[in-house]
């Protein structure tokens, strides 16, 4: 199933100059960027993005996330591809960088633990946010992008994932 999902390169990733490396990982597996922008969000917008966190994880975690996401510019992207939500989560790795395996974004570019972040009273600096479910992706994309900012275009990867394109190429080659 071709899906769309939201990825944020958080201010810590932008400030560290990791934007290109992170985008390269998603494009390298064939995910297509259908929307991208840099923005510096305010607290009102951050509250909308993290609306469920205060209730689920408490005010201390909520406040720490608010401070992190508003401390600098964010790169917001909508990626499209087969099972995009699951694939993006796999590429990012677990939320806690300490437990993220090498080869994942968080495993390669962050190392702190929940315990350390709690001790210094700050959100875990884990470089990226990725939608956790298809429903969350749908809601987050609608929050971060208006429809006119999302684009449909063919990419070279489409011939590898779309049966119609493959059949068309075979027909063109006479096979």
Q: Which residues are catalytic?
A: 129
Residue 117 tokens, joined: 């972040």
Q: Please state, rounded to an integer, the average pLDDT across all residues of the chain.
A: 90
Q: Is 139 among the domain residues?
A: yes
Q: Identify the residue whose tokens are 């939608």.
A: 131
pLDDT recorded at residue 169: 52
pLDDT recorded at residue 48: 93
pLDDT recorded at residue 164: 54
Contact 127/13 with Cβ under 8 angstroms? yes
| DSSP structural state of residue 71 | S
**30-52 pLDDT tens trace:** 999 999 999 999 999 999 998 88
Q: Is 69 among the domain residues?
A: yes
CA distances from 132 to 62, 71, 164, 169, 172 (A): 17, 23, 30, 35, 40
8: closest CA among 174, 122, 144, 142? 144
Q: At what angle do helices 134-144 and 84-92 cross, to 10 degrees?
A: 90
CA angle at 80 for the pair 77 and 82, rounded to the nearest 5°: 145
Q: Is 94 among the domain residues?
A: yes
Instruction: Give me the CATH number covering residue 108.
Output: 3.30.70.141
87: closest CA among 135, 143, 25? 25
pLDDT recorded at residue 119: 81
Q: Is 168 among the domain residues?
A: no
Residue 59 tokens, joined: 């005010």
CA dihedral 50→14→41→111, nearest 10 degrees, is 20
Domain range spanning residue 89? 2-150
Q: Is 109 among the domain residues?
A: yes
pLDDT recorded at residue 32: 96
Q: Is 165 among the domain residues?
A: no
**Structural domains in the chain (count):** 1
Averaged pLDDT in 10-residue chunks for the chain of 175 residues: 96 97 97 98 94 80 90 98 97 93 96 80 89 97 98 85 57 54
Q: Is 171 among the domain residues?
A: no
Q: Is 98 among the domain residues?
A: yes
């Amino acid at each position: 199933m071709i899906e769309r999902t939201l990825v944020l390169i958080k201010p810590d990733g932008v400030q560290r100059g990791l934007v290109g490396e992170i985008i390269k990982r998603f494009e390298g597996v064939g995910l297509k960027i259908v929307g991208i922008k840099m923005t510096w969000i305010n607290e009102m917008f951050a509250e909308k993005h993290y609306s469920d966190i205060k209730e689920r994880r408490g005010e201390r975690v909520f406040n720490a996330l608010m401070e992190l996401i508003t401390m600098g510019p964010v790169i917001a992207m909508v990626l499209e591809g087969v099972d995009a939500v699951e694939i993006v989560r796999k590429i990012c790795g677990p939320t806690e960088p300490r437990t993220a395996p090498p080869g994942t974004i968080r495993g390669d570019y962050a190392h702190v633990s929940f315990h350390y972040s709690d001790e210094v009273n700050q959100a875990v600096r884990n470089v990226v946010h990725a939608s956790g479910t298809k429903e969350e992706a749908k809601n987050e994309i609608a929050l971060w992008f208006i429809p006119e900012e999302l684009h449909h275009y063919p990419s070279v990867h489409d011939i590898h994932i779309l049966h119609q394109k493959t059949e068309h190429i075979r027909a063109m080659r006479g096979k």
